[in-house]
Amino acid sequence: MDFTDKIVLITGGSRGIGAAISTAFAERGGIVAINYRSKHHVAEKLAKSLPGEGHELFQADIATAPACSALVESVVARYGRIDVLINNAAIHERHPIDQISYEDWNRVFEETIQIDLLAPSRLMYLTARQMMKQGGGRIVNISSRGAFRGEPDQPAYGASKAGLNAMSQSLAQKLAPYGISIGLVAPGFVQTDMVKDLLEGPSGDSIRTQSPFNRVAKPEEVAYAALFLASTEAGFSSGAIIDVNGASYLRS
């Protein structure tokens, strides 16, 4: 898969899965626009480590509509186009219904939907409109196994990812005549710094044994699925959802 000189915007692109996706595209010739919310030193370190030239950092908290507009405008102003959008940024917070106040329940839902569903919808709108002018493009959204199996202690996360799936597949049909393909990657547990303590704690073994491989996914495995869906060769796979969960959850 060759992405030479393709402009790739990746939200949450400086850490974890996002960093692996940024690296994977850069290794294949892509020019990566790395969006990050905070921790500039982490984002800067990644950008400097990427092979190739032209990669840049774009700080933005995509929780608001104006910030999404400003991000896309900044990337287009810098590069003139966006060939690939990867909606990777997401948040999740435990909020079991039997242990949380009504106020916190509402807060978690509002914050999660803003980042995990509304931000991708806004960025898809803005980027798709740009891609229409260019004659096409690719959008890849990072979903979750939780959209299918449920998230009992994080229902806002599961709901937002289920909504992301439905919205992406709706737009895959709408945008196909414009040469725009949309795909989704649905990981299970992924070995990142954010879940390191959990995987090394008492529940680590039970998490790993969810998969018959007796491990969780590597960020690079999620990145490879994103590469495929963003490739020229995968254009006719628009609307597809690739599971990267080690057979820990199988859907028919």
Which amino acids are annotated catalytic? 157
- The CA distance from 92 to 157, in Å, is 6
- Please enumerate in sequence order all residues whose Cβ is within 8 A of that of 201, keeping only pairs 6 or more positions apart, or say none: none
Q: Which residue type is seen at 236?
A: F
Q: How many CB atoms lie within 10 A of CB 201?
A: 11
Which residues neighbour 169 within 8 Å (Cβ) at sequence distance 6 or greater?
182, 239
CB 144 within 8 A of CB 158: yes
**Residue with tokens 């590069």, as numbered in its chain:** 79
- Cite the DSSP H helix spans in the chain: 16-27, 40-49, 65-79, 102-113, 119-134, 146-149, 155-175, 196-200, 204-208, 219-230
C-alpha to C-alpha distance for 225 and 246, rounded to whole angstroms: 13
Neighbours of 20 (CB within 10 A): 22
Could you give the CA distance from residue 59 to residue 34 in angstroms, rounded to a whole number? 8
The helix/strand/coil state of 233 is helix
